[in-house]
Copies of this chain bind each other. A is one copy, B any other.
Amino acid sequence: MTTLLEQRLTDHRIKPTAMRLLVLEYLLSRQSALGLSDIEKAMAPADRITIYRTLKTFEQNGLVHLIDDGTGVHKYALCDNCDPAEHHDTHVHFYCTVCKETYCLPDTKIPDIGLPAGFILSEMNLIVKGHCDKCRL
């Protein structure tokens, strides 16, 4: 018998170890992007480095994507439907300056940009800061 969690890992060619199942389960339970320290706290007393490598494996296999939200801390969020080979997470990310949470906005795509002549685009990262829907006045 194989659970849904296990299935999700094996679909991305990741062997389902205990740690990996726990991390995946935790990511699924949260709706915002998480930093390594966040996950570390939830997994205590599991080793930080193991979680780090777990997330790296997830990222390399298209299960999570890495978000640079400008805080200096890498955030991780589950991919919607990325290939094990290639990511295609081209959505905007939102950082709430009140609750300090980082959200994926999967339906908000980064618009095309007209670059000066001679500039060739390969990737884009758009991060928006402000107040999230839960932090209104």
- Which residues on A are within 8 Å of B, measured CB to CB? 68, 70, 92, 94, 97, 105, 107-108, 110-111, 113-134, 136
Contact = CB atoms under 8 A, between A and B. Distances in A.
A129 B119 contact: no
Helix, strand, loop or mixed for chain A's interface? strand
A41 B124 CA distance: 30
Contacts of A123: 128-130
Contacts of A108: 113-116
A124 to B, nearest CB: 5
A129 B124 contact: yes
Contact of A116 (B107, B114, B121, B124): B107
Nearest to A126: B126
Given A105-B115, A113-B108, A130 B126 contact: no
A31 B60 CA distance: 35
A104 to B, nearest CB: 11
Given A68-B70, A115-B108, A120 B130 contact: yes
